[in-house]
A and B are shown apart, each in its own frame.
Chain A
Amino acid sequence: MSETDKTTCFEPWNEVGKKPLIEFRGVSKKFGALTAIDNVSFSIYEREFFALLGPSGCGKTTLMRMLGGFETPSQGQIFIDGKDISTIPANQRSVNMMFQSYALFPHLTVADNIAFGLKRSDMPKSEIAGRVDEMIKLVQLGNLGGRKPHQISGGQRQRVALARSLAKAPKLLLLDEPLGALDKKLRQETQFELVDIQEKLGTTFVIVTHDQEEAMTVSSRIGIMDQGKLIQIDTPDRIYEAPTSVRVADFIGDVNLIEGNATTTANDKITIDWAEGQPALTAQTTANIKDGTKITFAIRPEKIAMSAKRPDDALNAIEGHIHDIAYLGNISIYKIRLASGHMIKAQAANTRRLSRRNYTWEDKVWLSWTETAGIVLTK
């Protein structure tokens, strides 16, 4: 990637007339009576690092296996580079896959594993060894080329699998839970390496994961899947800050969900009546909401401020008692019980030592936030 590309924002999905690399058009997949994929349409652009995120069984792996050629859609079409791929068998697609189990060939050495795809391609024999060395360098495998897969560690196996799937320089690389088998620390390091490699090569990556932190770290856009449907596709920050549905808000990160009835006050402001004896909340929204509509107000714990006295200038302020405190080291999560029975989570950074903490169990506190801190959701 050149310097000019880095400074300008990489947002091909916003460019008018830009041709996508991959396009799903009304794709469904049924296994017997079970609908694994339900009428999915979306596009992935060249050089994107696209994450498919969702709980297990949501259909994300099936969606990826369709790209790889291991499943065929029951309905709809998939295009790569404008070509319908339904008639191209898996071994002739310019798509490679890194398997969840790595699927390294146990009887071949690391170098032979990496060379496996090259030997099936039309690459001249004399160039294969050079390409293998290049891939070994890319994933920093040092002098492990002569080892067998069972003689190296899990992290090294992951690198071999990556090198093998990248060796043929595919247009599209599919990664099925690529870091799932690594421990947490190694996983975090590898996430950044994966991004580096992707930027260096400019290959389009599609990753399937159930780990939202991983998806947020590596991807340019995330597609959230639930029960066979893609419920939102957006950049990581927008998925977190501006979810379009309660399900997305609830799936990504921690969130307080408050149900209530909306009344429009100004053209972009509403008040929310949500519990008897509690002051109405004020929130900003661009959506056009009719008076009396049932809505869900979503607010992240870290957007809520806690204070011992009612803040004078706060638009939204409610009173409660501390029910529970979860101490996580860098932050603490407070569970606040309101008089109405609601339980609200608030998060505070532990800037002071634990012994000098301001609040403790059963303390009376005020929770407050601005009118733009939360999101109004209608579905």
Chain B
Amino acid sequence: MNFRKYLLILIPYSWLLLLFLVPFIIVVKMSLSDTEMAIPPYYPYFTLSEGWQGIVNFFSELDFENYIFLAEDNLYWKAYLSSLKIALISTFFTLLIGYPIAYGMANAQPEWRPTLMMIIILPFWTSFLIRIYSWMGILSQEGFLNQFLLWIGIIDQPLTILNTNVAVYIGIVYTYLPFMILPIYASLEKLDISLLEAAIDLGCNRSQSFWLITMPLSKAGVIAGCFLVFIPVLGEFVIPDLLGGADTLMIGTILWQEFFANRDWPVASAVAVVLLLLLMIPIILFQRSEQKQREAEQ
């Protein structure tokens, strides 16, 4: 009986070990190595053929040189900070746009809700890349947006939006909006309508009942939505690469360049490890807030 139980647990654990932990250890090992013009482009290798002495030699060759380099070259710190800024600002805008949409969905007639949900999810059915390319078509100098604004006469010169940070924000907010809407919608839909009636009964007007009841009770959904947007945006590289310009600095793009343009795998690995450590802070915060929420519901 006990044996079967352990076997059942063993399957997911070995999955995580093989496909998550082992690659991660390889990346950490790579980040402690030196660049080499070879295949693979780093040194030392880990071999068992030289016996114990070989393993000792391998470990003595590892050092923190790449991390020191990251700390000394301010490009990386700027990129981390800039990513953090972009992630924070775009999370804020996603929340600003997503909350009213989720609120509207939760207050729609019940028979409309599945349709609205479908409309939110529908863009996922087309390729992410194609959707970002379409935004290039919309935002470019001759794009639909500029043509439209020129046509209604708000502007007389086309605006430069594509290849600026504004385009990056638009792309990120557009792409990640469903991740904000869905958890907020889930928490708003659960909200007992009689709580709002009770608030009105006790003297609240509509806006008071929103800020005093609806908002605090959908806090869990807002927090979940914010983390679901913030965490992936921090490491985002496709959107800044396609929509951003020369001054768009994001750590995901740096990582990409180090790996594929510079072929400096050890530095790229060090960038990835630091990014992971940075991401762990919000992930731990997120899990703690989830935990608190579960405890409150019991």
| Residues of A in contact with B (beta carbons under 8 Å apart) | 68-70, 90-92, 95-97, 99-101, 103, 105-107, 116-117, 120-121, 148, 150, 164-165, 168
Contact = CB atoms under 8 A, between A and B. Distances in A.
| Residue from B199, B201, B217, B219 whose CB has the most chain A CB atoms within 10 Å | B201
Given A101-B192, A103-B192, A116 B199 contact: yes
A103 B193 CA distance: 9
Given A105-B213, A107-B216, A91 B194 contact: no
14 contacts: A91-B202, A91-B203, A91-B204, A96-B202, A99-B197, A103-B192, A103-B198, A105-B198, A116-B199, A116-B212, A117-B202, A148-B296, A150-B296, A168-B202
Contacts of A116: 199, 202, 212
Contacts of A99: 194, 197-198
Given A105-B213, A107-B217, A150-B298, A97 B198 contact: yes
Given A150-B296, A150-B298, A117 B203 contact: yes
Interface of B: 192, 194-195, 197-205, 208, 212-213, 216-217, 219, 296-298
The 5 closest A-B pairs by CB, nearest first: A120-B203, A117-B202, A103-B198, A103-B194, A107-B216
A91 B200 contact: yes
Nearest to A68: B201
Contact of B201 (A96, A101, A121, A150): A96
A96 B213 CA distance: 18
Contacts of B198: 97, 99, 103, 105
Given A121-B203, A148-B296, 20 more contacts: A68-B197, A68-B201, A90-B197, A91-B200, A91-B202, A91-B205, A95-B201, A97-B198, A100-B194, A103-B194, A103-B195, A103-B198, A106-B217, A107-B217, A117-B201, A120-B202, A164-B202, A165-B201, A168-B202, A168-B203
A225 B195 CA distance: 27
Nearest to B194: A103
A111 to B, nearest CB: 14
A117 B216 CA distance: 17
Given A99-B194, A103-B195, A105-B213, A90 B298 contact: no
B190 to A, nearest CB: 11
A96 B201 CA distance: 6
Contacts of A69: 200-201
Nearest to B296: A150
A118 to B, nearest CB: 9
Contacts of B217: 106-107
B194 A90 contact: no
A187 B204 CA distance: 31
A352 B128 CA distance: 84
Contacts of A164: 202
A117 B199 CA distance: 8
Contacts of A96: 201-202
A101 B194 contact: yes
A120 B194 CA distance: 18
Contacts of A70: 197
A97 B201 contact: yes
B201 A91 contact: yes
Contacts of B200: 69, 90-91
Contacts of B296: 106, 148, 150
Contact of A90 (B201, B212, B297): B201
B296 to A, nearest CB: 7
Residue picked from A69, A116, A164, most chain B C-beta under 10 Å: A116
Nearest to A106: B217
Contacts of B197: 68, 70, 90, 97, 99, 103
Given A150-B296, A150-B298, A105 B195 contact: yes
A117 B296 CA distance: 24
B15 to A, nearest CB: 36
Nearest to B193: A103
A120 B195 contact: no
Contacts of B199: 105, 116
Contacts of B297: 150
A78 B199 CA distance: 23
A68 to B, nearest CB: 6
Nearest to A97: B201
Contacts of A103: 192, 194-195, 197-198
Contacts of A106: 217, 296
A107 B194 CA distance: 15
A103 B216 CA distance: 15
A150 B298 CA distance: 8
